Amino acid sequence: MKVLVTGSNGQLGWELERTRPETIDGLFADRNDLDIADYERVLEYTRKHRPDVIVNAAAYTAVDKAEEEPEKAFLVNEAGARNIALAAKEIGARVIQISTDFVFDGKKSTPYTPEDEPNPINVYGKSKLAGEKAVLELLPEQSIVLRTAWLYSSHGHNFVKTMLRLMKEKDEIKVVCDQIGTPTWARGLAEVVWKFCKRGDLSGIYHWTDGGVASWYDFAVAVKEFGSEFNLLPKDGFVLAVGSIDFISLANRPSFGLLDKSKTWLELEIVPNHWRVQLRHLLGKW
């Protein structure tokens, strides 16, 4: 089986390249190799390489900046996803479209199921939802939308790296405690994506994150705890819990983003590791 991964220099794309099963022939394209916003290029590339599955890990992920340049967010997250689906349809490939908990408004208090009605509250979430719809409409039986949340990795830009840097620079940092979700190591998500690649019988919407629940404050405290344990950080220093109201940001963010993963557990017969186990594992090898 040949699998094309777009956005291969992003967190997930990079982890996909490092976790590829030997039985799969992987083709990893970064933005320079394949700009998904360019329909002609997508068509030319997929006609030439003829993958069986396309994992669309390319995305515009700058949540605040998207509020100022919505057309750019939609160009990648909606039109780009549509381009991938159109090309896949032509060559008979399946698509795994990666999406986000930000398609929900965060007003629930129990985990969001794949059947829950999305209602994004920022431009990024709206553009990702538009991408989901484009893929599902074009390839109802031949696509999977896999939503995830709070990704981090040793590669790319993410909360863990920002915290490690700030905790070295400052004695005290403030982190919001009223947004709830699940930190998710992109490595674990990559392994799940490979399992979905092998399941041509599945289609529709699925959720995946690591296990457990956290606020950004809890996440930061854990970075501090494990960072100190593995001598990445000084032992002193404080993390202070603050409300979102104390942080001015361009984009609204859902206060609750837990995803119900039971459909994925049942289909793939896997259960996620707790997010603290995953984070400790990564920082132990940093």
- The yes or no reply on residue 96 touching ligand NAP (CB under 6 A) is no
Q: Which of 31, 49, 161, 174 binds ligand NAP (CB under 6 A)?
A: 31
Q: Which of 35, 132, 210, 218 binds ligand NAP (CB under 6 A)?
A: 35
- The yes or no reply on residue 7 touching ligand NAP (CB under 6 A) is yes
Q: Which two tokens stand for residue 94?
A: 């399946």
- The yes or no reply on residue 37 touching ligand NAP (CB under 6 A) is yes
Least distance from C-beta 274 to ligand NAP, angstroms? 18
β-pairing verdict for 53-56 and 204-207: unpaired
Pairwise CA distance, residues 238 & 276, whole Å: 19
Diameter of the chain by CA atoms? 58
Q: Which two tokens stand for residue 144?
A: 């999977």
Pairwise CA distance, residues 57 & 189, whole Å: 11
Describe the chain by its helix, strand, coil percentages, rounded to 5.
Answer: 45, 20, 40
Q: Which of 3, 5, 12, 123 binds ligand NAP (CB under 6 A)?
A: 12
Least distance from C-beta 75 to ligand NAP, angstroms? 7
Beta bridge partners of 148: 100
By C-beta, is 34 or 136 nearer to ligand NAP?
34
Least distance from C-beta 66 to ligand NAP, angstroms? 11
In degrees, rounded to 5, the angle at the alpha carbon of residue 209 between the alpha carbons of residues 270 and 175 is: 150
- DSSP-derived letter for residue 246 is G
Catalytic residue chosen out of the listed positions 124, 152, 206, 217: 124
Q: Which of 61, 122, 142, 143 binds ligand NAP (CB under 6 A)?
A: 61
**Are 2 and 51 within 8 A, CB to CB?**
yes
Give me the helices (H) in 102-215, please: 123-138, 159-169, 186-197
By C-beta, is 15 or 142 nearer to ligand NAP?
15
The three-state secondary structure class of 178 is coil
Least distance from C-beta 262 to ligand NAP, angstroms? 19
Q: Which of 4, 6, 16, 218 binds ligand NAP (CB under 6 A)?
A: 6
Least distance from C-beta 184 to ligand NAP, angstroms? 8
Binding-site size for ligand NAP (CB under 6 A) equals: 26
Inter-axis angle of helices 11-19 and 186-197, nearest 10:
60
Q: Which of 45, 104, 112, 150 binds ligand NAP (CB under 6 A)?
A: 150
- The yes or no reply on residue 58 touching ligand NAP (CB under 6 A) is yes
Tell me which residue has tokens 């202070």.
240
**Are 233 and 103 within 8 A, CB to CB?**
no
The three-state secondary structure class of 171 is coil
Q: Which of 96, 121, 151, 222 binds ligand NAP (CB under 6 A)?
A: 151
Tell me which residue has tokens 């392994």.
191
Active site residue 39: no
Least distance from C-beta 235 to ligand NAP, angstroms? 29
Q: Which of 57, 176, 190, 259 binds ligand NAP (CB under 6 A)?
A: 57
Using CB under 6 A as the criterion, which residues of the chain lie in contact with ligand NAP when the complex forms? Answer: 6-7, 9-12, 31, 34-37, 57-61, 76, 80, 98, 100, 128, 148-151, 156
Q: Active-site residues: which are they?
A: 124
